[in-house]
Copies of this chain bind each other. A is one copy, B any other.
């Protein structure tokens, strides 16, 4: 269950419902809806057109890129708009593997020419990382799946000469647990210095920040990462995403997943979805301006709910993944979200997320939820449902 407000009611339902599934998707902020609407009316031109209609659309996109970049402390030119987080994550894997292969082929020693790329990840990544690895790269790459305990050290210990990418989510979508990507980033920087001296491939670092953005501050410099995935509909924005690439095209490699017109400098072709991009920019601006308040409010609401659950269900309920300093007294854990860099470690759990187990025999989570008249929550990631082609 993940909630960032205590409830949500919609006009089409006679009954007020309590929506607790904000990690599946958020409603759109009124400001975001307004930005999308304004763009549909006023910036409908093709952004590639040389005339005034095109120029107006380009201006909207440039503004949105600035706003997305500002939210994560990035340069605007390092942000590419994409259809969503799934595409962004797939692009990152494609970039790392393609670049590694090119690098191998450029080496004098034939020992490199057929070296298989190696990727390090966790066992708890979203399907948009997990499934490309188990399907597309099942044969052509080696993958190490790590448990989440002792993560930074385990990542470092897993690095091989053929490692091309480490991809670790910033926060888990089901438990809200945050992973120490910044720590990995710092350790990896040291490793990469040594690798450079040894003539080895520079290991790239990616984080899927889909669930973290909008709940805690996310800064690409603090994180020390090369790629970062942004997903609008997880922070009251629209159903598109973006990919941050540090020093896009010169410091960090980028290879398009598909080809077409010259949009996004040819790295992500296809006529830009201007209204959705405008909405993503507006959602990012809201986060940039308000993330500290969001953090405080979400945590307060979530902790209140957890206290109430304990009060009502006692030992029949367990709040999972509770960090040591939160449990039943949220005021005792007044860590400022915008602290010094090293304080990133002390957000072990997203402020909006609750993972809850009920100890009733022979009653499953879905059954409990089916009996809830008002509460809308989930027993896992929404995208695991309604699948036909997962095993192909």
Contacts and interface: CB of A to CB of B under 8 A. Distances in A.
Interface in A17-45: 17, 19, 21, 24-28, 33, 36-37, 40-42, 44-45
A90 B269 CA distance: 11
Contacts of A46: 21, 24-25, 233, 382-383
Interface in A245-266: 249, 255-263, 265-266
A383 B263 contact: yes
Given A259-B128, A276-B276, A384-B261, A40 B33 contact: yes
A36 B42 contact: no
A392 to B, nearest CB: 7
Nearest to A10: B42
A24 B49 contact: yes
B52 A17 contact: yes
Contacts of A40: 28, 33, 36, 238
A385 to B, nearest CB: 5
A388 interface: yes
A136 B98 CA distance: 12
Nearest to A56: B12
A26 B276 CA distance: 16
B276 A369 contact: no
Interface residues of A, number: 84
Given A53-B19, A266-B387, A389-B265, A258 B12 contact: no
Given A49-B24, A51-B376, A262 B388 contact: yes
Copies of this chain in the oligomer? 2
A273 interface: yes
Determine the main DSSP class of A at the interface with B: loop
B265 A388 contact: yes
Interface string A372-392: 000011100111111111101
B388 A86 contact: no
Nearest to A28: B40
A128 B268 CA distance: 11
B369 A51 contact: yes
A109 interface: no
A388 B271 contact: no
Contacts of A354: none
Interface in A169-208: none
Contact of A90 (B17, B131, B260): B260
A89 B260 contact: yes
A85 B33 contact: no
A127 interface: yes
A380 to B, nearest CB: 10
A297 interface: no
A50 B366 contact: yes
Contact of A269 (B128, B255, B258, B267): B128
A272 interface: yes
A301 interface: no
A158 interface: no
Given A24-B49, A257-B257, A262-B384, 8 more contacts: A21-B53, A28-B40, A46-B383, A50-B378, A86-B259, A87-B270, A128-B270, A131-B260
Q: Which 8 A-B pairs have the closest CB atoms?
A: A266-B389, A261-B383, A262-B387, A90-B258, A83-B83, A86-B260, A86-B270, A128-B260
